A and B are shown apart, each in its own frame.
Chain A
């Protein structure tokens, strides 16, 4: 008493210090809880009280030029079981009482019976279901999760739900579906079961198509998991993928694939590609690759056949290439459609090369038109050597050969122009005039013919028209054409190809009544990869119609048709596809006949 009364200030000071310290501790703790760790703690609290749900962002559709869906996203379900709970004992079910229909009785359903019921819905036997459960339990007696079926459809899901077995849990699993099956399957590609794009446009246009899953959480009632109003928290907004619009017409694509497949089977070929392109825009209307993968079931097709050979399999084009060389020569002013040569059966140029024709003939007085009609290698060599190698090489590049097209298809090949003029040996210098010794893809050949059909202006090749997402349309950039050869050279080449169509040896095999058509065949040798050539041929036809106002390019390539090893195998395909295209797009038949051009002099 005395002491304190002697030092009252000290007592007050002590109390104040203690008070300040205490308040300080509280403040520090408060700041720590409310500011420093606020986010972390509230998240933890939220996590304990709330349930979090994945909101699936759907992968975008792929549609054809008319909006027909070629690929869309659907919800599938994985059926999982809890082996631990399944083995815990029979489940109890309410059933109508046989004695009194108004009442229900409790029935014990043993595991065997419920497993058999589940199996019947999923296409398994009861033993198989039980085997999965027992197998998991043998590994781990506390096992709480095992899949019994994956990616089942909605009908099956509803049947499983109707069984009302407590140890069965269906999980949502977004999946991909291709309603038209193999139609354009080669182009579309496919996704793996986890939803990752692995091939084709699905892969190359993933940026447009891919959606993003969102996440939200909410508080729910204890018993029945009803969401408490106002407690929903969106952690991440889901985003749907964009819709990819192709230039492909799915009906035409189907028809073209059908024609190609029938011919591949008829002539025993290894594979075939058919490309249909719009002459004025460079848009691809159909790209058929046979064999074609059905993206609903990619595993059914051998791995090598799951892509698009039109883009990924370069080949030596052969005689279809002569039209390109002829156009170059005319463009350079070194010849015209009626220029004359005397073509021997065997031509031995001064540089030591050795050029033969595929059929024996005496020295023939060919015009350039005649060289194309009879597809004379020697005649083409005599015209081709009027250009320097560099000039021809530059024209090839301008025609879009030797580099990937604007499509940028996954695995697309640029083709190989055998290096360039400096690396060409003497034989190659001549071989490249008639399409050997260099490789091109089917789409590149179609694009080169598009240049001829479009008055010498090459349009960028297009397979995708645009991508529409939530932000609106992102159209493909407006394509500007590039002039490759003069209009006069293109027109003369077109007229010569019309004579080929009318007078060539397949004239009766590819006739399309009522239309003027320009076309050229090719029967190319196939390199074996060791410097030699295989026995089989790659037979092809490329052409366009109507020749008086070209609208469509059709390019057909068939690899190694065993039963008919000549371009007679590809001509009917060209005829059927071109007829279908002209019919489908209501093309008015040509009026005037094709101009006469003499083949010989």
Chain B
């Protein structure tokens, strides 16, 4: 709001003001124009040259990086293929068919009658019943095209120990052989060492 009076106020005052008299004066002589210094030119040209060189080096580095990336990508693809191959193998041998076939090859029989031991009071829940019957070969019952040709653990043992006999047969044939201790599990209390 204050701008309006400020602009309008000086206008009437300016018109009666006397015009300053115009006079011609000689322009001052340029006092001996200095020669351009060589240093400036060198700095300017040098700067350009440095920029060009840096640019070049950078692009070389980037191009070099591209090759490096490419070689890593090739390597990554190769490792990814390797990973896929291994995980396929793992999935295959993890399948229930393969586990069951191995368990049966080792002479295991499923027991359909569960019995529970209650740890708090030692009560036996359920009626203990022996597993009946030899395990039928369950392999063909639930087919899996992926595990055909994969050797069972017993066959692998034979392959790995060609001279040392077969552990699978030995434990069946010689009952006095030391039984393999089952691995400790978390479920049952084991004697403490103290």
List residues of A whose CB falls within 8 A of some B CB.
69, 72, 74-75, 153-155, 157-158, 177-183, 226-229, 250-251, 254-255, 257-258, 261-262, 265, 292, 294, 296-297, 300, 512-515, 575-576, 579-580, 582-583, 586-589
Contacts A158-B81, A262-B136 given; indicate if A181 touches B146 (C-beta within 8 A).
yes
Determine which of B70, B138, B143 lies in contact with A227 in the assembled complex, contact meaning CB atoms within 8 Å.
B70
B interface SS class: helix
Contact A181–B127 (Cβ < 8 Å):
no
- B69 close to chain A: CB less than 8 A: yes
Q: Assuming A74-B88, A154-B81, A177-B88, is B146 touching A580 (CB within 8 A)?
A: no
Most A C-beta atoms less than 10 A away, residue of B63, B65, B81, B114: B114
Is B141 an interface residue, CB under 8 A from the partner? yes
Which residues on the A side are within 8 Å of B142 (C-beta)? 181-183, 254, 257-258, 261, 292
Q: Is the CB of A514 within 8 A of B125?
A: yes
**CB of B113 within 8 Å of the partner chain:** yes
Binding site for A on B (CB under 8 A): 62-63, 65-67, 69-70, 81, 84-85, 88, 91-92, 94-97, 100, 112-116, 125-127, 129, 136, 138, 141-147
Q: What separation, in Å, do the CA atoms of A300 and B126 have in the docked complex?
A: 43
B128: nearest chain-A partner, CB-CB = A513
Contact A514 B66 (CB under 8 A): no
In the bound complex, what is the Cα–Cα distance between A582 and B88 (angstroms)?
Answer: 32
Alpha-carbon gap, A14 to B115, bound state (A) = 112
CB atoms of B145 and A183 under 8 A apart = no
Chain A residue at smallest Cβ distance from B136: A262
Q: Looking across the interface, which residue of chain A has its beta carbon closest to that of B115? A: A514
Q: A183-B95, A254-B96, A292-B142 are contacts. A588–B70 as well, Cβ < 8 Å?
A: no
Is B96 a contact partner of A74 (Cβ separation < 8 A)?
no
CA distance A292 to B145 in the complex (A): 13
Please tell me which one of the listed residues B96, B129, B138, B146 contacts residue A251 in the complex, with CB atoms under 8 A apart: B96
Residue of A nearest to B139 (CB): A258
| Extra pairs beyond A181-B145, A228-B66 (10, CB < 8 Å) | A69-B91, A75-B81, A180-B96, A183-B97, A227-B70, A251-B96, A254-B142, A512-B113, A514-B125, A576-B112
Q: Is the CB of B94 within 8 A of A257?
A: no
Q: Is the beta-carbon distance between A226 and B67 smaller than 8 angstroms? A: yes
A181 touches B125 (CB 8 A): no
Contact across chains for B85 and A154 when beta carbons are under 8 A apart: yes
In the bound assembly, the distance between CA atoms of A579 and B112 in angstroms comes to 6
B85: A residues at CB distance < 8 A:
153-155
Are B112 and A580 in contact, CB atoms less than 8 angstroms apart? yes
CA distance A559 to B94 in the complex (A): 33
Chain A contacts for B115, CB-based, 8 A = 514
State the CA gap A297–B143 with chains docked (Å): 10
For the complex of A and B, list the 5 residue pairs with the smallest distance between their C-beta atoms, beginning with the closest: A181-B144, A179-B91, A514-B126, A513-B127, A583-B114
Q: What distance in Å separates the Cβ of A260 from its nearest Cβ neighbour in chain B? A: 9
B62 with A229: CB separation less than 8 A:
yes
Closest CB in chain B relative to A181 CB, distance in Å: 2
Contact B95 A181 (CB under 8 A): yes
> Could you jot down 25 A-B contacts, CB within 8 Å?
A154-B88, A177-B88, A179-B91, A180-B96, A180-B144, A181-B144, A181-B145, A182-B142, A182-B144, A183-B97, A183-B142, A226-B67, A228-B66, A229-B66, A254-B97, A254-B142, A258-B100, A258-B138, A262-B136, A262-B141, A513-B129, A514-B113, A514-B115, A587-B114, A588-B116
Which chain B residue lies CB-closest to A294?
B143
Report the bound CA distance from A183 to B92 in whole Å: 13
Q: Which of A74, A155, A582 contacts B114 (CB 8 A)?
A: A582
Alpha-carbon distance A454/B150, docked complex (angstroms): 45
Q: A183–B145 Cα gap in the complex (Å)?
A: 11
Q: Are A296 and B125 in contact (CB under 8 A)?
A: no
How far in angstroms is the closest Cβ of chain B from A114?
23
Contact of A589 with B141 at beta-carbon distance under 8 Å, contacts A74-B88, A179-B92, A583-B112 already known: no
Residues in chain A near residue B69, CB distance under 8 A: 227, 229
Q: Which of chain A's residues have a CB closer than 8 A to the CB of B127?
A: 513-514
A216-B96 Cα distance, complex, nearest whole Å: 41
Select one of A229, A251, A265, A297 contacting B145, CB under 8 A.
A297
Given the known A-B contacts A229-B66, A294-B143, A296-B145, are A180 and B95 also in contact in the complex, defined by CB atoms under 8 Å? yes
Distance A84 CA – B64 CA, assembled complex (angstroms): 36
Q: In this complex, what residue of B is CB-closest to A293?
A: B143
Docked pose: A471 CA to B108 CA in angstroms? 45
Compute how far the CA of A541 lies from the CA of B95 in the bound complex, rounded to whole angstroms.
Answer: 29
Chain B residues, Cβ within 8 Å of A514: 113-115, 125-127
Q: By the criterion CB–CB under 8 Å, are B91 and A258 in contact?
A: no
Chain A contacts for B136, CB-based, 8 A: 262
Knowing A580-B112, A582-B114, the reply to whether A181 touches B97 (Cβ < 8 A) is: yes
Given the contacts A74-B88, A514-B125, A296 and B62 also touching, CB distance less than 8 Å: no
Report how far A586 CA is from B138 CA in the complex, Å. Answer: 24
Residue of A nearest to B97 (CB): A181
Contacts of B81 in A (CB 8 A): 75, 154, 157-158
CB neighbours of B96 from chain A (8 A): 180, 183, 250-251, 254-255
B109 to chain A, nearest CB (A): 13
Q: Chain B residues with Cβ under 8 A from A254's Cβ?
A: 96-97, 100, 142
Contacts of A157 in B (CB 8 A): 81
**What are the residues of chain A within 8 A of B62 when measuring CB–CB?**
229
B96 to A: closest C-beta gap in Å: 4
Complex Cα spacing A589 to B117, Å: 11
Question: Contact at A229–B88, with CB atoms within 8 Å?
Answer: no
Residue numbers in B under 8 Å from A265 (CB-CB): 141
Residues from chain B with a CB closer than 8 A to the CB of A255 are 96
B84 touches A154 (CB 8 A): yes
User: B97, B115, B127, B143: which has the most chain A beta carbons within 10 Å?
Assistant: B143
- Contact present for B141 and A177 (CB under 8 Å): no
User: How far apart sit A292 and B144, CA to CA, in the bound complex (Å)?
Assistant: 11
